[in-house]
Amino acid sequence: MRFASPILLLSVFLSFSISLGAGAARADSWQRFEGDGVVVEALPRYARFARGVVRDHARRVAEVEARLGVKPPANIFVTIAPDAASLSARLGVALPPWTAGVALKHRGRIGLNAAALGPPLALPPAVVVRHELTHLAIGRRIGPEASVPRWLEEGICQWVGGDAYLGLRRDLMDNLDFERLIDWAAIHDRFPADRLRAGLAYQQSFAFVRYLADRFGAPLLLELVDAAAVGTPVYRTLLASTGKPLVDLQVAWMKAERERSNRMLRLLQGATPLALGAVLLGMAWRRRMRLARDLLRRMEEDEDAATTEASVDPRASHPLNPFRDIRAP
């Protein structure tokens, strides 16, 4: 009988621990949000973000179709995860830690890294979603098993998605010659794992694709995709369609990029201090507004999460802390 009390206490402790673990698991369980042609799964603290993706889905699909001329698949599944590691585990694929989004063309699925879609990186969600939808649209056009050069596909996805998150392209301008750029053959199948090198690969791919679209028209991009999908080298299609060899096109592209940069520099040099001050003030205001919106979004997500947790387990209720890092476990 002398052992009955410790055993009883141990049983109570284990039961309490298990109940707490079950309550935490329920509070942190994935939720589904459904819309027309899209299903989004996310943790409760990203409920508002998920609803926004569902709400804007038809608009993003229309934007991709208008820009590319190809519509993404009719039914898409989106996963919003707290970070790249969680996204990797959820999707069952290996992703570098700097990943903002990923598209699985053979599964009609998109993954979004919530940690990369706000401060300090502040990557616009609409741009990333358009980028990943473009991957799915290309997969729909050529079939999930076919492939095209990685630089071509990523360049097109950047071109459709928008270049808002490419910054000032300083890395590209500092490396704008054949000796410093990443060799195109090296990014034919995959991009570098290093974040800085991957950023340069994205930038040079986007810039060259944009040059081709501006110089020869957007339909050329789909022509390159279709030809590459059946095994025709890009340089051969470019020569047949433009009459120019690939090396000449790349030289012309680099010249155009330098001229673009010089025009921007002359514009800044020619601006009066007052005009320049107004521009800087406007940029500062926009940045402050963006940070304020991000803070409000995080506060709303925390409030949604607190409400959800409280409804699952009253003991999980806690005061709203708007400064808590929502990416922390």
SS3 for 2-48, per residue? Answer: CCHHHHHHHHHHHHHHHHHHHHHHHHCCCEEEEECCEEEEECHHHHH
pLDDT value at residue 280: 65
Residue 322 has pLDDT above 60, yes or no: no
pLDDT at 69: 94
Q: Which residues pair with 103 in a beta bridge?
A: 110
For residue 289, the enclosing domain spans 147-298
Helix (H) or strand (E) holding 103: strand 101-104
Token pair 């903002």 is found at 100
Same-domain status, 141 and 117: yes
- Answer yes or no: is pLDDT of 313 > 70: no
Question: Which of 29-43, 103-117, 127-141, 276-290 shows the lowest per-residue confidence on average (mean pLDDT)?
Answer: 276-290
The verdict on 236 and 268 lying in the same domain is yes
Residues 134, 152: one domain?
no
215 falls within a domain: yes
Same domain, 129 and 264: no
CATH code (residue 94):
3.30.2010.30
Same domain, 40 and 139: yes
Decide if 93 is inside a domain.
yes
Planar angle of CA 91, 161, 250, nearest 5 degrees: 110
Q: Residues of 281-316 as b/e, b for ≥16 C-beta within 10 angstroms? A: eeeeeeeeeeeeeeeebbbbbbebbbebbeebeeeb
* Residue 319 exposed, middle or buried by CB count within 10 Å (0-12, 13-18, 19+): exposed
pLDDT band at 16 (very low <50, low <70, confident <90, very high): very low
Whether 8 has a pLDDT exceeding 90, the answer reads no
Do 266 and 158 reside in the same domain of the chain? yes
pLDDT in tens, 31-82: 999 999 999 999 999 999 999 999 999 999 999 999 999 999 999 999 999 9
pLDDT band at 245 (very low <50, low <70, confident <90, very high): very high
Q: Which residues have CB under 8 Å from 187's CB, separation 6+?
A: 149, 150, 151, 201, 205
Query: Which pLDDT belongs to residue 2?
Result: 44
- Please tell me the predicted confidence (pLDDT) of residue 292: 74
Q: Does the pLDDT of residue 23 top 60, yes or no?
A: no
Q: In what order do the strands lie in the sheet with 101-104?
A: 31-35, 38-42, 76-81, 109-113, 101-104
In degrees and rounded to multiples of 5, residue 34 shows phi and psi of -115, 145
Domain presence at residue 17: no
Number of domains in the chain: 2
Instruction: Tell whether the model's pLDDT for residue 101 goes beyond 60.
Output: yes
Structural domain ending residue among the three candidates 145, 164, 192: 145
Tell me, yes or no, whether 3 lies in a domain: no
**φ and ψ at residue 206, rounded to 5 degrees:** -60, -45
Q: Are residues 159 and 267 in the same domain?
A: yes
Identify whether 317 is part of a domain: no
- Asked whether residue 45 falls in the same domain as residue 161, the answer is no
Please say which residue of 78, 112, 145 terminates a domain. Answer: 145
| Residues 139 and 236 reside in one and the same domain | no
Same-domain check for residues 111 and 199: no
Work out the pLDDT band at 5, boundaries 50, 70, 90. very low
> Residues 153, 294: one domain?
yes
Tens-digit pLDDT profile for residues 246-278? 999 999 999 998 887 766 555 545 555 666 566
